Amino acid sequence: MDEELAISVRGLRKAYGDNVAVAGVDLAVRRGEVFALLGPNGAGKTTTVEILEGYRQRDAGEVHVLGVDPAHPSPGWRARMGIVLQGTGEFDELTVAEVVRHFSAFYPDAEDPAKVIERVGLADKAKARTHTLSGGQKRRLDVALGIVGRPELLFLDEPTTGFDPEARREFWELIRDLNAAGTTILLTTHYLDEAETLADRVGVIAAGRLVEVAPPSRLGNRQEAMATVSWRTPDGVAESAESATPTALVAELAARYGGEVPGLTVTRPTLEDVYLRMIGHR
């Protein structure tokens, strides 16, 4: 296995009876990057991630995660990973500090629980019982439990589902900080703006196959797509035109309207536009 890769997958297949969930996926995630795996429900995303985590057996293919085949895990290998599920569990009568301290005992070289609590922004809630936490604070606790073992690789399963916009952006800062400290992150999400903000690269999976892997700005050749230039005429009529050279068109419009173009907008396909096209959305 390439030492620069945290995850290496070739020809991964998994079926449940006649239903083929994963149909020959090839995937490589580099150490130190944030990789977002996108796909609709039933596309094979969850099955793929569970195989990488070592919780589901594959039917065929080669898989290495941190240099180890997850079909043959060891306690030492598991200690090198962190997994943040959509919900870790309920610890209503325990304090934040008690929960993190309890989980730290599972790892041979755990981080100091107090430092982990501070790192995820819960220092002022260390003595609070977990049932008193807000949704965003509980999610931060989930992350604390995922990183207390000093993981090289962190799996995040739809980490901000149900968050309000402010809480989501605070959580994004936490993910950036973890990655900046050297943690490789594989993220699954249904929020396209989240993938675009956090991920170095995204992979789109549909019908059990990996459709494309690219940086968010280049997925589906977004950077080469025609731009749509829209404006309003002096009498208020909305007009628009597609152009491969939008700057030139805007300059032409500026000359036509004396320097200021009423209602001017220039847009290209969003990541959501490209993603929906890739998964066959109509």
Confidence of residue 281 (pLDDT cuts 50, 70, 90): low
CA-to-CA dists, residue 115 to 101, 129, 145, 175, angstroms: 11, 18, 12, 16
Average pLDDT of the residues in 65-86: 90
pLDDT of residue 154: 96
Per-residue model confidence as pLDDT tens digits over 201-249: 999 999 999 999 999 988 888 877 888 999 999 888 999 999 888 999 9
Is pLDDT above 70 for 65? yes
pLDDT of residue 140: 87
Nearest to 269 by CA among 222, 237, 202: 222
Q: In whole angstroms, what is the distance from residue 126 CA to residue 97 CA?
A: 5
Is pLDDT above 50 for 282? no
Side-chain half-sphere exposure of 157, counting CA atoms within 13 A: 17
Confidence of residue 274 (pLDDT cuts 50, 70, 90): confident
More confident residue, 85 or 88: 85
Asked if 80 and 68 touch (Cβ cutoff 8 Å), the reply is no
Average pLDDT of the residues in 247-260: 91
Per-residue model confidence as pLDDT tens digits over 87-116: 666 788 899 999 999 999 999 889 999 999
Q: SS3 helix, strand, coil % of the chain, rounded to 5?
A: 35, 30, 35
Q: In whole angstroms, what is the distance from residue 51 CA to residue 56 CA?
A: 5
CA-to-CA dists, residue 233 to 70, 239, 249, angstroms: 62, 7, 15
For residue 186, which phi and psi values (nearest 5 degrees)? -110, 120
- Indicate the average pLDDT of the chain: 90
Q: What pTM does this model have?
A: 0.83
Per-residue model confidence as pLDDT tens digits over 14-59: 999 999 999 999 999 999 999 999 999 888 999 999 999 999 999 9
Among 83-87, 170-174, 202-206, the least confident range: 83-87
pLDDT of residue 88: 60
Contacts with 168 (C-beta within 8 Å, 6 or more apart), sequence order = 160, 191, 194
